Homo-oligomer: A and B are copies of this chain.
Amino acid sequence: MQHILAVDIGGTKIAVGIAERSVFAERGTLARIVTERVPAPGTPAAVVPRVIAIARELLGELSDPDPLLSGIGIAIGGPLDHREGVVINFPHLPEWRNVPLRDMLSDALGVPALLDNDANLGALGEHAWGAGRGVDDMVYMTISTGIGGGVIVGGRLLHGVGSAAGEVGHITVQTGGPRCPCGNAGCLEMMASGTAIARRARQAVAEFPDAGAGILEQAGGDPLSIRAEGVWAAALEGDALAIGLWEETAEYLAIGLAAIVHVLAPQVMVLGGGVAQTDERFLDAVRSRMRDHVGYVPLERISVVRSALGSNSPLIGAAVLALEAGRDRQ
């Protein structure tokens, strides 16, 4: 039987999934997914052989005595050249500079491979098998330690110059806000990512020590241990400072999403990543605040929803890419 492999290389974990080609093409599900921490020290020399080893294990474990592999799809963060299959750099791990990852995996496993940005593949996954099925125009935004995105227009993934379409984390949502490593100030990612929520919470706790007791408690009393998850937990317990921080977060996201609405007017906006997975109440707050920032676009016809595939959106997107990579082999 023909099989496909999907690979997702992140800053902290790697995931490899396998499926029978025909089963995935019909149902969009992977038969097995192996997820591991990125092997130390996180260099290409450490990560790539481990991905290949997992792929071989997955193929070896199939009941099929003579499994065939038809294609590989690879998701990875950071700037890349999807046409050449080269990772230009990967800010979260060392020594990833101009790595021809597509050909490395393709050569090792002897089948065609395709490579794309993880947020682009999140969009592709959600469009093919998730919250954006059947729509022409949609945006996927992943909100976790950073904020990335992917854009589908006319049913096709939009790459843009330098594969940089969907860099929605760097839309300005707070003019004169904190400086971002990208050079801009007040970027969405600087205000509403998990990292940003934790930073803003630490600042708020330092400024208002009395009001910050609930957030601090969630962090075991150590301001440096404050995380977005703890701020959310404090908000659920009714902590006013934590609730305020989440309301601000909803406001920043609403301004960023409104900017996208004013460019694309997409049918669906899919929010993935840990921050968006918190709770339907948070999404309601985002939707409500979007109405303050959008007047002339019929927002009632734009769905703002959580990702249907959760943290697997990029991996499922990689599997869609694997189908495409192996098209000639079918």
Q: Which residues of A contact B (CB under 8 A)?
A: 79, 137, 139, 151, 153-154, 156, 158-175, 180-184, 186, 255, 258-260, 262-267, 291-298, 301-302
Contacts and interface: CB of A to CB of B under 8 A. Distances in A.
Contact of A153 (B158, B170, B183): B158
A292 B79 CA distance: 19
Given A165-B264, A184-B295, 6 more contacts: A137-B160, A159-B265, A161-B302, A172-B255, A175-B175, A180-B295
Contacts of A156: 154
A259 B57 CA distance: 44
Given A164-B297, A259-B259, A264-B160, A173 B171 contact: no
24 contacts: A137-B161, A137-B165, A151-B263, A153-B153, A154-B156, A160-B265, A161-B267, A161-B302, A162-B297, A167-B262, A167-B297, A168-B262, A168-B263, A169-B262, A170-B262, A170-B296, A172-B258, A172-B293, A175-B255, A180-B295, A182-B294, A182-B296, A184-B295, A259-B263
A201 B297 CA distance: 30
